[in-house]
Amino acid sequence: MSGRAQLMWDEAVTGYDFGPGHPMDPVRLALTRRLVDAFGLDRAVEVVAAKPAGDSTLRLVHREDYVRAVKAASADPASADASYGLGTLDDPAFAGMHEVSALIAGQSVAAAEAVWHGDALHAVNFAGGLHHAMPGGASGFCIYNDASLAIARLLELGAERIAYVDVDVHHGDGVQTAFWEDPRVLTVSLHEHPRTLFPQTGWPEETGAPDAEGSAVNVALPAGTGDAGWVRAFHAVVPELLADFRPQVLVTQHGADTHVEDPLAHLAVSLDAQRAVQIACHDLAHRYADGRWIALGGGGYAVVDVVPRSWTHLVAIAADRPITPETVIPESWRQEVYARTRQLAPMRMTDGGWPVSFAHWESGYAPANRLDQAVRAARRAAFPLRGLLA
């Protein structure tokens, strides 16, 4: 098996563009790639531009009628069928929508193939992680669900145990739905509580279909959760599940919208905590999945201050070239940020909160603490179904 990481990238993914004023600004992808290059990480990974996912691959998850609807809206945006979630405020139709969405999906599918076949130990597609798309519809800025497609391809190749860990601020509803009845896939999502955030799913009681009970685990975090609570919740749930499940591949989704500056959500997480969880996912892949790790992007709408730094850390960790948080950001990148956005770029690869301190779950449970209540609810709902102590 090659020890080198792959970075899945085709400049054309920046064409995933819902138009002016939409939160999913593709500049976040372009600026992330430029920051990766500014740190020389493009020389520490193998940069791969994979082909778009074809129809047969898309149908591993998506209904044929939905793929036809996306193609029709892509050719004529004015004809978008809202019954498929297309042409809505969240998912406006645009020319070429099918092609670029299939291209992003193709990068994640190729990442899965590379890791499964041993061509790479780790693979990153930060343009991916479009976890809200459903088998029969677009949702939440997501047209095709590349994360689900990567997992479905792994199953097709013969994988028997795949763990999916989603730390986006929004519930990973599309991936949970795709594998709701499949005990071969363990989906774990840490997200802001559905009472206060789209898509209003991801309650602890959502634990999988009767034949796959305990295959879905949901940690619904209270609004305002900060670094110590967020990292505590991750370590209170994820490592124990992976130790029990022993996945052959770990797929993780790293939406950067947990950040305190994100305009669309209500958690209070820093870049430093995001980095801490990225490192934890890397370590867990080595501990329980023979190092096989597929890391995806996701949400994130602070497109200058947060997203490029967060996902550059992700690439650096996958490349085994972690960037020290206090590192000064290259001036060349900061100048490019200003030229593209007229915004001032951050100075360092930290928010000033490194190292992140938190209390491990084993240190004790505080019944009156809302964060601990959320963790306890998730454990009580799902852990006994897997034969684990709540």
Q: Whose structure tokens read 């798309």?
A: 133
Beta-carbon count within 10 A of 90 CB = 16
Phi first, then psi, for residue 362 (nearest 5°) are -65, -15
Measured CA to CA, the distance from residue 75 to residue 86 in angstroms comes to: 13
Joined tokens for residue 246: 């022993």
SS3 290: coil
Ramachandran angles phi, psi of 134, nearest 5°:
-100, 165
Q: Is 216 exposed, middle or buried (0-12, 13-18, 19+ CB in 10 A)?
A: buried
Cα within 13 Å of Cα(57), Cβ side = 27
Show the CA angle centred on residue 251, arms to residues 140 and 283, nearest 5°: 130
The span from the CA of 146 to the CA of 127, in Å, is 10
Concatenating the DSSP letter of every residue in 236-283 gives: HHHHHHHHHH--SEEEEE--GGGBTT-TT---BB-HHHHHHHHHHHHH
Q: Cis link prior to 355 (omega < 30° from 0)?
A: yes
Tokens 């899965």 correspond to 112
Spot the catalytic one: 62, 132, 171, 313: 132
State how far the Cα of 326 lies from the Cα of 315, in Å rounded to an integer.
17
**Who contacts 156 (Cβ-Cβ below 8 Å, separation ≥6)?**
60
Round to whole Å and give the CA distance between 297 and 255.
5
Beta strands in 95-213 (DSSP E): 122-125, 162-166, 185-192
Q: For this structure, is 254 an active site residue?
A: no
The catalytic residue positions are 132
